[in-house]
Amino acid sequence: MRLFRFIKISHTLAAYRIPSLVSNGRFGFFNVVNLLAPFGKKGIKNMSEGERLRSALEELGPIFIKLGQTLSTRPDLIPADIAQALGKLQDDVEPITWQQAKAVIQQQLDADLRSNFSEVDEQPLASASIAQVHAATLKTGEQVVIKILRPGIEKKINRDVRLMRTLAGIAGRHVKAGVQVDPREIVSEFEKTIYDELDLQREAANCSLLGKNFRHSQHLYVPKIYWDYSKQKVMVQERINGISIKDFAALDAAGINRQRLAEKGIKIFYTQVFRDNFFHADMHPGNIFINPDNPDDPQIMLLDFGICGSLPKGHRVDLANNFMAFFEQDYRRIAELHIESGWVPADTNLEDLESATRTICEPYLSRPIEEISFGEVMLKTFQMAKRFKLIIQPELILLQKTLLNIEGLGRQLYPQLDVWKTSEPILRDIMRQHYGPKNAMDKFKENLPKWIEQAAETPMLMHQLLSKQVKPLPRHLKLEQAERQRLNKQAQQQLKFSILTAGGLTATAVLYALDSAQDAWLPSIGNSVLISGVITLYLAYRAFKK
């Protein structure tokens, strides 16, 4: 089966002439693969490289669609035009049958549906590459949705990921010079995200934590998780009723304040990242709904928590300081922060980095969001990264993806939004609350009992440490220590005599060669050969003596 799948993948890639993206022109593997589809797909001559790749991934199925979606957020790994084309991939997958879905639910909950649910809609609300969702009603009357992992999806993912690795290894040997892509790195990046989505209990935990962070919030609502019915392959959560953020006609009909909604989106982003250090990293329009109850102050409602992210503490502070320096147009400080945080080599020229940062950022200040492309800014940043050997931090990749999603939403909701003017006071307020003197004092008070307890134990710990230094070793430990020292000394001696033996062998061989080829006028060196040989034998004896 794996061989047939490999042939199918190879044929599809060849039919869309994907190998030409990486082939170096020499006769090799991809030239052979192209024989599987000598005429190619109809109309590919009028397609761009990105459109060809997108069409091939769509034809190969949901796992490859997911790969394309991951790639679309990585302009540092693939050319920007291809990333833009992949951004249009749609994850609209043929649903599994109700009988398949029902079997998964009953197996995971270890009970018949009727014992937990009074009603379940057999028609799915949504169907994606990893899971699908059905509306249901609990025995208590609460309206919920059941998210079900597609049966056999783990096996399919494992199979396709293994084949992806194989193809990536082959492609890596045929990459065109000058293309900033390592196919093996692409597959590795994809694995990190795809396997996280195979555990719905993990997603439920993500949802629960985000809900706690925004408990009683007027800005963001996170649905409740029903833990009694949530397992690895099934998750039950509260059903929300709102307007899809994609439905602009419905938003306008409900009188939703779009400007206020766009501003809230920015505030929620900064709050998740810099206050809570836990953020929803898949905020595309299909996962966002709007509560219409208060149109002048609308509440955002989130779904799908399979991909969430956080930043190491040091990176979070560094990133916040970089944002603040950017808002203040302090490009020198941005350059200094990049060097101090280790994002660029320590010997980077500060003035050159400052100038490059100014060149990227200055044209975008004081512009409304409709005139700004974060994708373009990031592309220029990655170009600068190559010049200054900037290290793209893996932890920032999900954050980049979230920024791109927010840009797209903001551009559609309220194109006149001044993202910089809106962001600066929000971030400054968060920094003041969570990194200012008051927060430092609160942290001091919080940690004081622990420090007092540790301080009380310090004299005993110091006594134990000093006792270890002055207390004589027991006899058996002394013997073990002496034996280790003897063996180490013996090994050093053997190494020394082994080196001398090698030198003796070389000298003997040279003398023997000279003795065999000597002319009449040369003095006899036969004795020297004999002496050298004897010495070499002695050295070899010492080298191998135990």
282 catalytic? Reply is yes
pLDDT along the chain (546 residues), means of 10: 69 72 45 54 76 82 75 65 73 82 92 89 87 93 94 84 76 52 67 82 94 92 94 94 90 92 88 89 85 93 89 78 81 85 81 86 70 62 68 65 73 77 80 66 64 65 60 59 73 71 70 58 58 73 66
CATH architecture of 98-150+199-308: Orthogonal Bundle (1.10)
pLDDT at 49: 80
Q: What is the CA radius of gyration of the chain?
A: 33
Q: State which amino acid sits at residue 389.
A: K
pLDDT at 81: 75
Residue 293 phi/psi, 5-degree rounding, is: -65, -35
What lies within 8 Å, CB to CB, of 45 at 6+ separation is none
SS (H, E, C) 93-149: CCCCCHHHHHHHHHHHHCCCHHHCEEEECCCCCEECCCEEEEEEEECCCCEEEEEEE
Q: Could you tell me the residue ranges of all domains in the chain? A: 2-93+154-196, 98-150+199-308, 311-438, 475-544
**Of 359, 404, 362, 367, nearest to 384 (Cα)?**
359
Whole-number pLDDT of residue 521: 43
Residue 258 neighbours by CB under 8 Å, 6+ apart: 251, 413, 414
Q: What is the pLDDT of residues 142-191, one digit of tens each?
A: 999 999 999 988 888 888 788 778 777 776 665 544 344 566 766 776 77
pLDDT score for 183? 67
Residue 180 has a pLDDT of 47
pLDDT of residue 405: 73
- DSSP for 441-476 reads HHHHHHHHHHHHHHHHHHHHHHHHHHHHHHSPPPHH
Contacts of 226 (CB under 8 A, 6+ apart): 138, 144, 236, 237, 238
Distances (CA, A) of 225 to 146, 204, 235: 11, 6, 8
pLDDT for the residue 238: 95
CB neighbourhood size of 483 (10 A): 10
- Name the packing angle between helices 183-196 and 62-71 (round to 10°): 110
From the list 160, 282, 304, 318, the catalytic residue is 282
* Region label for 112, one of left (φ > 0), alpha (ψ between -120 and 50) or beta (otherwise): beta
pTM for the full predicted model: 0.67
